[in-house]
């Protein structure tokens, strides 16, 4: 329930994030019992790398404080769409925060926006869209895969977001969105987004709006751009963004890396001076990640202009 409203302490039913370290975070729902694979109801005990956590005991605990496991401790964090993106169960490839942020801003989303999304996938972007448009906006999200729709519908309900979103099974390329003159923004993450552009036109408000498509391949992007031009979209822009993360390191070099040499010193002895002193070999460095995501996809944005039949 805790996505919709920020609170101080955990209530039963909330989804919370247990933070052990940057590599070990878990999203868990606080409920006393869970069903085992065999179908039995048993006490909800969550196993972390540092031992067991009795989940029901989290009720009443304050967010941002420590929680005890049987062999260690971690932090209890309030869920956010970013933490959810890092911890959700992947049913598909998902979008990550740098792309998500750009999508939300470039689609001009704000409280009150009506948004169409297809496909829903694992709901990573959906959570960020809902955060931006609540409490007065609405997200219509479509996926052609029935099971994905069912799982995500339950997640929206568990997160207390059901009033801001409608998830439906639908093949957008074939059947469109069943919405007319409704949306401020349309987002397409489909293998063939160009097939859904004409449907997007129908769903977008006649008073104008924005569209975004996400495609990993430039060939897809090219076809999409042609379809956008053909359908009357303006201000078509394609962009990509990546995130470079830095490690902050205190580095002390070993003696062998100490090249104390100068042409201006007269003797070798002068050159050697200062060698062996640790201070001279210490510095703080920003080290970019040695491996990073080098490509996610191309984002194409365009404006649906106000139609001439619209009175102002």
Partner 1 sequence: MDVNLILNDHFVLVQRKSQMSLHQLPKKEGKQWTIKVGRDLVDLSTALGKPHGTFKLSRSEENESKAFALVPSSDVVEMKEKLKDLNSGENNKEIWDDGRSQQLKKEDIEELRGQGLTGSEIVSQLVENSKTFQIKTEFSQEKYLNKKEEKYSEWVEILKPNIRHLAKYFHSQDPMQILNLRPDTLAMIMSLANIKSNGKFGVFDGGCQGLVTAAILDRIQGFGTVWNLCLKGTPQKRVIQAMNFNPEQLKPLKNANLRKLKESLIKEENENGDEVPAAKMIKLDEDAPPPLEFGSLDGLVVVCRRPNAIAKELVKLLAPSGNFVIFCPYSEPLCETYTDFRECNLAVNLKLTEAWFRLHQVLPLRTHPEVNMSGSGGYILSGIKVVS
C-beta separation of 48 from 74 below 8 A: yes
User: Which range touches partner 1 (CB under 8 A), out of 117-125, 152-160, 190-198, 231-239?
Assistant: 231-239
Sketch the per residue contact string, 105 through 134, with partner 1: x for CB under 8 A, - otherwise: xx-xxxxx---------------x--xx-x
Closest among 216, 217, 209 to 234, alpha carbons compared: 209
The residue with tokens 């498509």 is 213
Q: Closest CB to partner 1 among 114 and 132?
A: 132
* Least distance to partner 1, CB of residue 174, Å: 26
C-beta separation of 61 from 76 below 8 A: yes
C-beta separation of 172 from 190 below 8 A: yes
Its sign, for the CA torsion 182, 193, 239, 288, is positive
* Least distance to partner 1, CB of residue 200, Å: 18
Q: Closest CB to partner 1 among 23 and 267?
A: 23
> Which residues 272-291 are close enough to bind partner 1 by CB under 8 A?
284, 286
DSSP state, 57? G
Give the CA-trace dihedral at 9, 15, 19, 25, to 10 degrees.
Answer: 180
Residue 285 sits at the vertex; the CA angle it makes with 282 and 286, to the nearest 5 degrees, is 175
Query: Which residue in the set 29, 101, 206, 231 belongs to the binding site for partner 1 (CB under 8 A)?
Result: 101
> Which residues 30-89 are close enough to bind partner 1 by CB under 8 A?
62-66, 75-78, 80-83
Does 250 engage in binding with partner 1 (CB under 8 A)?
Answer: yes
Q: Closest CB to partner 1 among 45 and 310?
A: 310
User: Which range touches partner 1 (CB under 8 A), out of 1-9, 42-50, 173-181, 252-260?
Assistant: 1-9
Q: Closest CB to partner 1 among 117 and 142?
A: 117
Q: Closest CB to partner 1 among 83 and 172?
A: 83
Query: Which residue in the set 43, 180, 226, 270 belongs to the binding site for partner 1 (CB under 8 A)?
Result: 226
Does 312 engage in binding with partner 1 (CB under 8 A)?
Answer: yes
Residue 172 sits at the vertex; the CA angle it makes with 170 and 174, to the nearest 5 degrees, is 100
Q: Closest CB to partner 1 among 90 and 284?
A: 284
Give dist(CA 116, CA 138) in Å, integer.
9
Q: Closest CB to partner 1 among 182 and 300?
A: 300
Peptide bond just before 119 cis, omega within 30 deg: yes
Give dist(CA 107, CA 239) in Å, integer.
13
Its sign, for the CA torsion 103, 108, 112, 117, is negative
Expressed in angstroms, the distance from the first to the final Cα of the chain is 40
Chain residues that interact with partner 1, rule: CB under 8 A = 5-6, 8, 19, 22, 62-66, 75-78, 80-83, 97-98, 100-102, 104-106, 108-112, 128, 131-132, 134-136, 207, 218, 221-222, 225-226, 236-246, 248, 250, 284, 286, 298, 300, 305-306, 308, 312
């Amino acid at each position: 329930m805790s996505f919709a409203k920020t609170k101080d302490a955990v209530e039963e039913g909330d989804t919370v994030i247990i933070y052990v370290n940057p590599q070990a975070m878990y999203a868990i729902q606080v409920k006393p019992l869970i069903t085992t694979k065999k179908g039995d109801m048993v006490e909800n005990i969550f196993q972390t790398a540092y031992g067991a956590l009795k989940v029901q005991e989290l009720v009443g605990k304050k967010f941002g404080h420590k929680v005890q496991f049987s062999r260690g401790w971690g932090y209890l964090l309030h869920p956010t769409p970013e933490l959810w993106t890092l911890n959700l169960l992947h049913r598909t490839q998902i979008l990550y925060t740098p792309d998500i942020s750009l999508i939300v801003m470039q689609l001009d989303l704000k409280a009150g926006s009506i948004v169409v999304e297809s496909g829903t996938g694992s709901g990573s972007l959906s959570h960020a869209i809902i955060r931006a448009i609540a409490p007065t906006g609405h997200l219509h999200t479509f996926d052609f895969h029935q099971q994905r729709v069912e799982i995500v519908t339950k997640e929206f309900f568990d997160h207390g977001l059901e009033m801001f979103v409608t998830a439906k099974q639908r093949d957008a390329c074939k059947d469109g969105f069943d919405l007319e003159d409704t949306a401020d923004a349309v987002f397409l993450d489909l293998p063939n987004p160009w097939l859904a552009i004409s449907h997007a036109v129908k769903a977008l408000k006649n008073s104008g709006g924005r569209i975004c498509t996400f495609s990993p391949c430039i060939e897809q992007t090219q076809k999409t751009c042609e379809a956008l031009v053909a359908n009357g979209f303006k201000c078509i822009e394609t962009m990509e963004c990546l995130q470079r993360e830095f490690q902050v390191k205190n580095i002390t070099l070993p003696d062998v890396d100490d090249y104390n040499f100068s042409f201006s010193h007269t003797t070798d002895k002068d050159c050697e001076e200062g060698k062996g002193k640790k201070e001279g070999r210490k510095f703080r460095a920003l080290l970019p990640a040695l491996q990073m995501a080098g490509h996610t996809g191309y984002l194409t944005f365009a404006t649906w202009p106000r139609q001439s039949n619209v009175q102002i």
